[in-house]
Amino acid sequence: MDQLHRRFTDEQVRLLFRGYCQGMLDRATVEEVLEIGRSRFFTLLKEYHGDPDKFSITYRRESPSRLPTWVEKEIQRELMPEKSLVDEPDLPITTYDYSAIRDRLAKQGVQVALSTIIDRAKSSGCYLPHPAKKVHDREVITTAIGALIQHDASHHRWSPYAKEKWVLITSLDDFSRRILYADFFEQETTWAHIEAAEVLMRTYGIPLRCYVDSL
């Protein structure tokens, strides 16, 4: 229970903490009497040490301070471009970068907490809940580096400033999970994959096996 003011008077709680500070009571006893946890105990103890004579557990409801209208507008102005990126189906962007928004606002002299930005994002439709974690289905199936190279390609518009989609061809070592090759191509062609394989093998040697997609 956090509402100590309904169960104890200020003087009763002061007496318990005075006894603890004088070594007459241990922490467990104070926590048991007040029915509080360890973190709550130390929070109250810190307040008690601040001014034992004026220490109080009286409940005080404080209205949250409102942000100035111009700050609210600046937050919204930074959120909207992020929303357009997330909503764009051709871009591989599926999350909002609220930390980047906070940093951009700070450069403009607007100091707001990350939690405030997220709260405004939720009320403005600029928030996506974290998806449930999926069981990783790409298990390491080899026992040595170079035993298996996973070769694949992805077709996206990789930047919001790009007008066209590009193909990203990658080669990943199964055991170390290290990306051994990654480059962009205008089109996915057989020759592009041959060039990627050549660079890989000239740089790291010939792997025992290569795993490629259906294409």
pLDDT classification of 132: cutoffs 50, 70, 90: low
Residue 43 half-sphere exposure, CB side, CA atoms within 13 Å? 7
The helix/strand/coil state of 207 is coil
Q: Is 173 or 7 the better-scoring residue by pLDDT? A: 173
pLDDT score recorded for residue 126? 85
pLDDT classification of 1: cutoffs 50, 70, 90: very low
Domain ranges for the chain, please list them.
4-54, 69-123, 149-212
Integer Cα distance of 213 and 215 in angstroms: 6
Average the pLDDT over 179-185 and give the result.
93
Which among 208, 181, 179, 211 has a CA at the least distance from the CA of 196?
181
Average the pLDDT over 43-61 and give the result.
80
Q: Name the least confident of 24-38, 87-101, 189-203.
A: 87-101
Residue 61 has pLDDT above 80, yes or no: no
Integer Cα distance of 191 and 209 in angstroms: 20
pLDDT score recorded for residue 62? 45
**Positive/negative CA dihedral, 49, 16, 40, 116:** negative
Average the pLDDT over 148-177 and give the result.
86
Burial 94-126 (b: 16+ CB within 10 A, else e): eebebeebbeebeeeebebeeeebeebbeeeeb
Predicted TM-score of the model (pTM): 0.44
pLDDT classification of 51: cutoffs 50, 70, 90: confident
pLDDT score recorded for residue 65? 59
Residue 117 has pLDDT above 50, yes or no: yes
Q: Which helix (H) or strand (E) holds 39?
A: helix 38-50
pLDDT classification of 63: cutoffs 50, 70, 90: very low
Residue 38 has pLDDT above 50, yes or no: yes
The pLDDT tens digits for 24-34 are: 999 999 999 98
Average the pLDDT over 76-103 and give the result.
82
